Structure 1
Amino acid sequence: MDVSAAAAVAAALAAFLALYFSGVSARAAKASAKSTERAAASASESAKHAAAVAQVEQERRDEERERRHESLSPHHLAPLDFKLEIGVFFKEDGLLFGSFYSPRSYRVRAIMHDHEGQTKSADVGLVRAHHRSNSFVVERWPPINGADCPRTTMIRLQFWPPRADDDAEAWTCPCGRPTDDTSGGPGHWEVCINVPAVPVTAKKDLDWVYRDGEYGRAPAD
């Protein structure tokens, strides 16, 4: 074989080897790309699974906080035994007072709604567990218009956990809703007591209890 032929063979062999290794490299690169894609897909699936697990756990914690919130509500502890009663003020004018028995220590505000849609509030303050609240004024009695039925149609009691400096057992609600009774917003819990338009006479008490999800007058003895 002359020199020219040998050189041609060598060049052809070099070209073949270059093409071969180029193909090997391309296949390796393609395999690496597919492996990377599979790894990325696997990581994405793992991330989705982790996010789903985290979502389920968050929902479980939220549900647990809501259950705890409801368990601390005055609705579920015991009857509030709400009472309306007439009190004499300065020996002449009377006032219609409200009070209730509290199964747990709360800070409380009462908001009275009348048949004209007007409201007024009374700060009941701290009510200790297993005690009656301080009496709060519902309305003047008898009404200015001479009626013998209360003008108030509903009393909305707003409840919050005690403050840290209150003289009561320390507890709070983990639900995340505001627990500050000075914010002027809605109560952490609220209980609405409907006041029926029934005649109220002097020195007559109206006792109220919570039964079957509603408040109403206690049966007569």
Structure 2
Amino acid sequence: MDVDWVAVAVAGVTGTIAIVIAYASYRASARSADASETSAVASKDSAKEAAKLTQIESQRRQDEREDRHELLAPALPREIETTLEQGSISGHKSLFANVVVTSPRNYRAHVVGWTGTSMVPVSGLDLQVLGQRMYKLHIEHWAADQEAPHVKELRFKFWPPMGVDESNPWSCACGRPTSEDTERLGHWEIRLPVERPRRPRIRILSP
């Protein structure tokens, strides 16, 4: 049988070329897959870094709002110093306290007394509180045999002023409640203990 060696050689060369092309195509595909995987990992890392930076910036802004919130808070004494005063009409004594909001800003405010079991009204504090001004609060009526206040503490609520209060109102952007409803939580809430009334000092004069 005669063998066509030329055809065999051509077939061999063709097969070899096909194998080389297939291998080259495989290598190219592998490199493309590696590049795609690397790109995906890089994109994922970039997204994580962007999310982290966004979180850091959000926390920074929140910290700034909290710092400003604390800076704008009203300043009150640490405790309420009380005095007993005789009523000019009724003749009964009442417990009073002089309170000064030492902050330079104005606020909206509300105050009640806490007896330990219930809230009781306290008068003398305007809805619009002016900074650096003293307010005389009527805490409770005083019985003849009474020795200590029934009101244990005063609970203050403060809010930034509203536009109707003054021509240049200021605000606090921390997101806490406004003064649209004084029954709601305060923007700032302060509780101060009520002390026993001061006894008048008796001066003994030497003969």
| Structure 1 counterpart of 2:130, from 105, 128, 143 | 128
For residues 80 and 195 of structure 1, do their structure 2 counterparts lie closer, same or farther at Cα, with a shift above 3 Å needed? Answer: closer
Instruction: Give CA deviations for 1:119-155 in whole Å, capped at 9, x if unaligned.
Output: 134574111222234x44422x114x84132100111
Per the normalisation by structure 1, the TM-score is 0.74
Q: 90-99 or 164-173, which moves further after superposition?
A: 90-99
CA contact (8 A) 1:162 1:168 kept: no
Deviation at 1:94, TM superposition (A): 5.0
CA contact (8 A) 1:128 1:168 kept: no
> Hey, what does 2:205 align to over in structure 1?
none
- Partner-residue secondary structure (3-state), 1:177: coil
- In the alignment, residue 111 of structure 1 is paired with which amino acid? V
> Hey, what does 2:204 align to over in structure 1?
none
Per the normalisation by structure 2, the TM-score is 0.78
> Hey, what does 1:214 align to over in structure 2?
none
Tell me, yes or no, if structure 1 residue 161 matches structure 2 residue 163.
Answer: no
List aligned pairs for 1:21-60, cutoff 5 A.
Answer: 21-60=21-60
Task: Note the residue ranges of structure 1 that are not aligned, 5 or more in a row.
Answer: 205-221
Deviation at 1:40, TM superposition (A): 1.4
- In the alignment, residue 188 of structure 1 is paired with which amino acid? H
Distance 2:4 2:120 in 1: 113
CA contact (8 A) 2:111 2:157 kept: yes
Deviation at 1:159, TM superposition (A): 0.8
Instruction: Give CA deviations for 1:55-102 in whole Å, capped at 9, x if unaligned.
Output: 222222111111111111113xx7589564547385355543445222
> Hey, what does 2:109 align to over in structure 1?
108
CA contact (8 A) 2:78 2:192 kept: no
- In the alignment, residue 61 of structure 1 is paired with which amino acid? R
- Partner-residue secondary structure (3-state), 2:127: strand
Query: Which of the pair is proportionally richer in strand?
Result: 1
For residues 61 and 13 of structure 1, do their structure 2 counterparts lie closer, same or farther at Cα, with a shift above 3 Å needed? Answer: same
Distance 1:171 1:87 in 2: 40
- Partner-residue secondary structure (3-state), 1:165: coil
- Partner-residue secondary structure (3-state), 1:39: helix
Task: Count matched residues.
Answer: 194
> Hey, what does 1:213 align to over in structure 2?
none
- Partner-residue secondary structure (3-state), 1:130: coil
Distance 2:177 2:50 in 1: 31
Deviation at 1:165, TM superposition (A): 1.6
Task: Note the residue ranges of structure 2 that are not aligned, 5 or more in a row.
Answer: 201-207
For residues 70 and 94 of structure 1, do their structure 2 counterparts lie closer, same or farther at Cα, with a shift above 3 Å needed? Answer: same
List aligned pairs for 1:123-202, cutoff 5 A.
Answer: 124-133=126-135, 135-139=136-140, 141-143=141-143, 146-167=145-166, 169-182=168-181, 184-196=183-195, 198-199=196-197
Instruction: Give CA deviations for 1:32-61 in whole Å, capped at 9, x if unaligned.
Output: 111111111112222222222222222221
What's the Cα RMSD here? 2.9
Distance 2:47 2:167 in 1: 47
- In the alignment, residue 187 of structure 1 is paired with which amino acid? G
